[in-house]
Structure 1
């Protein structure tokens, strides 16, 4: 191996239980997005029937993608996850570009944005000055990175606590939404959706699938599953079923309490729900809940994101310091530190030009969907390239299932390019810089 001589003691070990893996995946996916995107989905559907159908279809498409990932993770289990699949299918250069993009903007940008959500919701509760949100965000990244450096068991333990608090909050919202009557005067004060362009169900699916994003992070923990990589099928399927059920329940609450027109017009749907049910105390509660949801996603994203950096250092001599695995803590210490530093730099950029930071994160979408499409194609390539590799799980209805997955990714790539326009050139610049760096090292 090019990353230097390593013994059996300094590499990832299968220590994660099935429940640990599910906690990580659900924690990544069910974050603050469920309190942001329902309004966009409602505006793009126009009726509660189509609104809920979009979320159900989002779960179905994610499940199709999960079946494709299940074959990849069971046949090629590796801490590098997507990076390893792309390496096997398309070679070292393409895999390096993916790891470069993920390390420089995709994963670190997600960490920074999620940390900013925590800051945005905590600042009104206790303001720290003109850079309050950035300070909260920086503290979140620093503390959670340190917790993951302490060790895998500690990091997953924190994740379980955060997820338990988040689930308790989501359960409370469900009870409030279905059983606490709305206050007519407060409901009447909320705006209704005005005249808007004709609803587009395809655009609604774009927002829904973005909210479902993150389940593919399972690939980065497949080699650390105690029950063996073949159990990743069970982890993926049950995680997505649980996520879909949560999303349908929460969106059902929004529709029942506010109605489709008010959901479409809302800028902070969770706050509006509490405003018409519990009043001011409920608004404070919602702020705390959204912050916890974002914290859960940040912690899980930090956990899986560093695994790509570790795999990169393991395969490239010039970056071998990234491939150091700390045996006692079962964590890629150096990779976690580098990831945290880049995320902190992005938070600093956001503190100076918040709009620019938001745009920068949006610009990563085309790069993300491009590589997601490539991972779907890698399943087809590896069936031909490595037909004799043992496959404990084979995707059903092959090749129809991977074709549906690739078609969905292609549509989302097209939609993201149309949404960002010339901004997509930022992602292209990142890839070009990565290509140059590849030849340098």
Structure 2
């Protein structure tokens, strides 16, 4: 029941874009504006975020070229560090990804509910109903097969990016009336405020690391993976900078800081009275694309962990006709829906999710130094290698740890919860691993 390579370079490029662009770009600019307070710091946060993300993408492009395998994010830690550490990191990475999917779905529901539901259901209950339906729709699409999922992803991504670019046309159509000049300046240390702004920025940029989970799905992965990652990240950075410039030009810092309905306000400038409906369509497509790509990705991590005997063998069951993991996908979707029952707002998810992401991404990036030593035989074979090594991965790692410290300083309680999750993962590993080893011995 192995996974066969079926995805092209174009498929993996679209996956990269969709792993990053959820609906966060319609919410987090307001968070960044609140945490910076000035246009200079606002744009500096997005520029720094883009540069650091590019450094991360280049690092993961080489990791994907040197170690292309299904469930690569888990396999990387197992190979470069230790299976126990791999399980601990991926345990929380899956929690973070699941929380991110739930957060994005909640943002989308805020836009969709006025269009889809009666006034009586435009509340927390209605939000959960909307998000549940969206998640289930995408789940059933994925059951049709990996190629169907990829084709759906390609269409949704092209439409989504096209719509975002169209919203940016508001720059040329605005009369300036929407620009709100009253600005609230953040309290406290400017460096700390900038660090917290990067929390929101990196939440919006993150996700591309999951691309290496598709190492076993991509045709000619050693060539197509790094190229797909680089092209995808370049598109994302261009789109993010354009949309943030449009937000600022049309709404001003004061309008951004109001942090409500940013996309709707932009759409009203471009499309007039039907702007809210256009925004609802955009949000619907964005949510579908983001949820879809994660339903494709996360079960591949389950697959890798099941191969190592950490998860039950049922997690690596693959339908040979469709190349889907029915049980793995079902488990992931059930977990997302479970989180939606417990969490009711985007703000509750942000700091927890990005702390998990920062730990996972920074330690994964450190693995490039180990991989370089262990895969010397690949040097000079034509695979992608980082041009400015080791500066590129070092910049990425240092900035991400700056964000981790910023979160810790602002919310020590959240950090304690996250560390408890890491420790819980380690305990689970040492409980499950002996049982799996005994089961293997008894089968022989």
Give your verdict on TM over 0.5.
yes
| CA distance in structure 2 between the partners assigned to 1:238 and 1:76 by the alignment | 20
Q: Does the aligned pair in 1 maintain the 2:76–2:364 contact within 8 Å?
A: yes
| Count of residues paired in the alignment | 423
Q: Does the aligned pair in 1 maintain the 2:77–2:364 contact within 8 Å?
A: yes
| CA distance in structure 2 between the partners assigned to 1:360 and 1:50 by the alignment | 24
Aligned counterpart, 1:440: 431
1:158 aligns with 2:152: yes
Equivalent runs, 1:221-370 vs 2, <5 Å = 221-275=214-268, 278-316=271-309, 319-350=312-343, 354=344, 359=348, 362-370=351-359
Unaligned runs of 5+ in 2: 433-444
| CA distance in structure 1 between the partners assigned to 2:211 and 2:259 by the alignment | 33
Q: Does the aligned pair in 1 maintain the 2:66–2:371 contact within 8 Å?
A: no
| CA distance in structure 2 between the partners assigned to 1:179 and 1:236 by the alignment | 32
**In the superposition, relative to structure 1, how do residues 406 and 168 fare at CA in structure 2: closer, same or farther (>3 Å)?**
closer
| CA distance in structure 2 between the partners assigned to 1:428 and 1:196 by the alignment | 28
**In the superposition, relative to structure 1, how do residues 203 and 364 fare at CA in structure 2: closer, same or farther (>3 Å)?**
closer
1:108 aligns with 2:102: no
Aligned counterpart, 2:438: none
| CA distance in structure 2 between the partners assigned to 1:431 and 1:309 by the alignment | 17
Equivalent runs, 1:110-125 vs 2, <5 Å = 110-125=100-115
TM-score for the superposition, normalised by structure 1: 0.88
Q: Does the aligned pair in 2 maintain the 1:74–1:229 contact within 8 Å?
A: yes
Please give the root-mean-square deviation of Cα atoms over the aligned residues, in Å. 2.4
| CA distance in structure 2 between the partners assigned to 1:152 and 1:343 by the alignment | 20
| CA distance in structure 2 between the partners assigned to 1:364 and 1:164 by the alignment | 27
**In the superposition, relative to structure 1, how do residues 332 and 192 fare at CA in structure 2: closer, same or farther (>3 Å)?**
same
Q: Does the aligned pair in 1 maintain the 2:38–2:185 contact within 8 Å?
A: no
**In the superposition, relative to structure 1, how do residues 427 and 16 fare at CA in structure 2: closer, same or farther (>3 Å)?**
same
Unaligned runs of 5+ in 1: 1-9
| CA distance in structure 1 between the partners assigned to 2:326 and 2:56 by the alignment | 31
Equivalent runs, 1:404-415 vs 2, <5 Å = 404-415=395-406
Q: Does the aligned pair in 2 maintain the 1:326–1:332 contact within 8 Å?
A: yes
Displacement of 1:90 after TM fit? 0.8
Displacement of 1:275 after TM fit? 4.7
SS in structure 2 of the partner of residue 239 of structure 1: helix
Displacement of 1:166 after TM fit? 1.2
Aligned counterpart, 1:149: 143
Greater mean alpha carbon deviation, residues 120-129 or residues 406-415 = 120-129
User: Which residue of the other structure, out of 30, 54, 58, is the alignment partner of 2:21?
Assistant: 30
1:54 aligns with 2:42: no
Q: Does the aligned pair in 1 maintain the 2:38–2:253 contact within 8 Å?
A: yes
| CA distance in structure 2 between the partners assigned to 1:367 and 1:150 by the alignment | 31
Aligned counterpart, 2:76: 85
Q: Does the aligned pair in 2 maintain the 1:192–1:265 contact within 8 Å?
A: no
**In the superposition, relative to structure 1, how do residues 232 and 317 fare at CA in structure 2: closer, same or farther (>3 Å)?**
closer
